[in-house]
């Protein structure tokens, strides 16, 4: 009887052991997986979560143990997408994106006047690298302008080299006697074409006109062409005012010609004056007058202080005005009175 009870007890303990609780398949965590995943886990058995490729650990526990209750604890692990570094900057271009994390794309574009060399987009990979290297934006190339080798129109590049890229300039010239009409320079544009090109035209100017009281040196009896010049001179005692040379312009007209300015007579019979920083007497040295633009300084008297000061007068194309402060003396006064020019200068009088 006792033996039978003992055997029943052993069987009861065995049944109890066989019916201990187990933990079910662990819950799924976004972007994570379990090493050695099973349908059931025994009490005390440990599991480990790992973030899937392209994702990185952010927070929470990675390891959990099956408890006596047979129910897994709350899972706190969080995996987030890996972020790729900013791929730029892209010189002369732009990078377009909404997110730099795993599996997202960036798109590349170039500024106007530049062409993309490389991939138009790139994807962030699981290892945190981009699927394609950063492209480059190369400037648009303009072909040589349509100028033939033997044309009267020629050009030169303003930058060294044999290639003209976006925003590069070239400068045009025409063979003489042709004149360049239009812009002297052209710019390589974003569409690969040049801005407006000039043209060369033959230009003639009429016979240049004479100037009053002057002449033209070596006047030719034929039409004058673009950029040809003539030089002018003035008759004796007249002074040339303006450019000595006049040029045939692309308009078919002559550039500004000079004028000949007349000399001036001095409307004073006797006076000591400053002329070219020297004291001279009008009656001895300036009887023939002075030329246009020349200046004479007259001596005037300050009666209160008994001193002298100078006042200038200039010849302007035959017109000359004596300063109002100057008082001409008669012949007798010049013998008995001190010349105003010999009085002490007013700036030296206390």
| pLDDT (average), residues 312-321 | 96
- Residue 320 is assigned to a structural domain of this protein: yes
Reply yes or no on whether the pLDDT at 171 is more than 80.
yes
Provide the number of structural domains found in the chain: 5
Task: Determine contact, residues 282/269, Cβ cutoff 8 Å.
Answer: yes
Q: What pTM, to 2 d.p., does this model score? A: 0.61
Instruction: Please give the pLDDT value at position 37.
Output: 85
Please check whether residues 284 and 340 belong to one and the same domain.
yes
- Residue 343 is assigned to a structural domain of this protein: yes
Q: Could you tell me the two tokens for 20? A: 């201990």
| CATH code for the domain in which residue 342 is found | 2.10.70.10
- The string of DSSP letters for 103-125 reads T-EEEEEE-TTEEEES-SEEEB-
Please check whether residues 194 and 210 belong to one and the same domain.
no
Please check whether residues 57 and 34 belong to one and the same domain.
yes
Instruction: Please give the pLDDT value at position 133.
Output: 96
- Residue 10 is assigned to a structural domain of this protein: no
Please check whether residues 64 and 97 belong to one and the same domain.
no
| pLDDT (average), residues 187-207 | 93
- Residue 190 is assigned to a structural domain of this protein: yes
Which tens digit of pLDDT belongs to each residue from 212-230?
Answer: 999 999 888 888 999 999 9
Please check whether residues 254 and 277 belong to one and the same domain.
no
Please check whether residues 225 and 174 belong to one and the same domain.
no
Reply yes or no on whether the pLDDT at 32 is more than 60.
yes
Which tens digit of pLDDT belongs to each residue from 291-302?
Answer: 999 999 999 999
- Residue 108 is assigned to a structural domain of this protein: yes
- Say how far residue 217 (Cα) sits from the centre of its chain: 46
Rounded to 5°, the CA angle 187-188-192 comes to 150
Mean pLDDT of the chain: 89
Please check whether residues 276 and 344 belong to one and the same domain.
yes
Instruction: Please give the pLDDT value at position 211.
Output: 94
Instruction: Please give the pLDDT value at position 2.
Output: 46
pLDDT bin (cut points 50, 70, 90) of residue 80 is very high
Instruction: Please give the pLDDT value at position 333.
Output: 56
- Residue 45 is assigned to a structural domain of this protein: yes
Residues in the chain: 350
Instruction: Please give the pLDDT value at position 192.
Output: 94
Top-confidence residue, 70 or 11: 70
Residue range(s) defining the domain that contains residue 243: 204-261
Please check whether residues 35 and 55 belong to one and the same domain.
yes
Strands of 166-283 (E only): list them.
169-174, 178-181, 185-187, 199-202, 204-205, 214-217, 224-225, 229-234, 239-241, 245-247, 259-261, 272-275, 278-281
pLDDT bin (cut points 50, 70, 90) of residue 8 is very low
Reply yes or no on whether the pLDDT at 22 is more than 50.
yes
**Which pairs with CB-CB distance under 8 Å and at least 24 residues apart come from 61-64?**
64/26
Instruction: Please give the pLDDT value at position 331.
Output: 67
| pLDDT (average), residues 267-293 | 92
Domain final residue, candidates 223, 240, 261? 261
Instruction: Please give the pLDDT value at position 13.
Output: 40
- Residue 123 is assigned to a structural domain of this protein: yes
Top-confidence residue, 149 or 20: 20
pLDDT bin (cut points 50, 70, 90) of residue 81 is very high
| pLDDT (average), residues 52-69 | 94
Please check whether residues 114 and 128 belong to one and the same domain.
yes
Distance between CA atoms of residues 218 and 215, nearest Å = 9
Domain final residue, candidates 239, 261, 283? 261
Reply yes or no on whether the pLDDT at 31 is more than 80.
yes
Secondary structure class of 232 (helix, strand, coil)? strand
pLDDT bin (cut points 50, 70, 90) of residue 330 is confident
The DSSP code for 181 is E
Q: Measured on CA atoms in the order 250, 252, 255, 256, is the torsion positive or negative? A: negative
Residue 262 main-chain phi, psi, to 5 deg: -80, 155
Please check whether residues 285 and 302 belong to one and the same domain.
yes
Domain final residue, candidates 229, 261, 293? 261
- Residue 66 is assigned to a structural domain of this protein: yes
pLDDT bin (cut points 50, 70, 90) of residue 339 is confident
């Amino acid at each position: 009887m006792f033996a039978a009870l003992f055997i029943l007890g052993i069987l009861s303990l065995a049944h109890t052991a066989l019916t201990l609780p187990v933990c079910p398949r662990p819950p799924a965590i976004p972007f994570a997986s379990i090493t050695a995943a099973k349908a059931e886990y025994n009490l005390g058995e440990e599991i480990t979560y790992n973030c899937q490729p392209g994702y990185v650990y952010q927070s929470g526990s990675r390891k959990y143990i099956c408890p006596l209750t047979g129910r897994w604890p709350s899972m706190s692990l969080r995996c987030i997408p890996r972020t790729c570094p900013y791929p730029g900057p892209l010189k002369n271009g732009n990078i377009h994106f909404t997110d730099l994390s795993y599996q997202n794309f960036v798109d590349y574009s170039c500024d106007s006047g530049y062409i993309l060399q490389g991939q138009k987009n790139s994807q962030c990979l699981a290892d945190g690298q981009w699927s394609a290297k950063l492209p480059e934006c190369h400037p648009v190339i303009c072909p040589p302008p349509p100028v033939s080798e033997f044309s009267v129109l020629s050009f030169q590049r303003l930058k060294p080299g044999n290639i003209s890229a976006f925003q590069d300039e070239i400068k045009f010239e025409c063979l003489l006697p042709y004149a360049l009409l239009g812009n002297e320079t052209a710019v390589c544009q974003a569409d690969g074409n040049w801005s407006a090109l000039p043209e060369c035209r033959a230009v003639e100017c009429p016979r240049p006109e004479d100037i009053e009281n002057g002449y033209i040196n070596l006047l030719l009896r034929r039409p004058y062409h673009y950029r040809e010049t003539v030089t002018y001179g003035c008759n004796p005692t007249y002074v040339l005012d303006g450019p000595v040379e006049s040029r045939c312009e692309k308009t078919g007209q002559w550039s500004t010609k000079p004028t000949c300015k007349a000399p001036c007579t001095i409307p004073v019979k006797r006076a000591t004056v400053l002329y070219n920083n020297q004291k001279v007497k009008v009656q001895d040295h300036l009887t023939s007058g002075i030329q246009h633009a020349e200046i004479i300084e007259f001596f005037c008297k300050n009666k209160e202080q008994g001193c002298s000061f100078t006042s200038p007068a200039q010849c302007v194309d035959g017109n000359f005005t004596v300063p109002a402060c100057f008082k001409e003396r008669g012949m007798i006064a010049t013998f008995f009175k001190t010349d105003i020019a010999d009085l002490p200068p007013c700036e030296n009088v206390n």
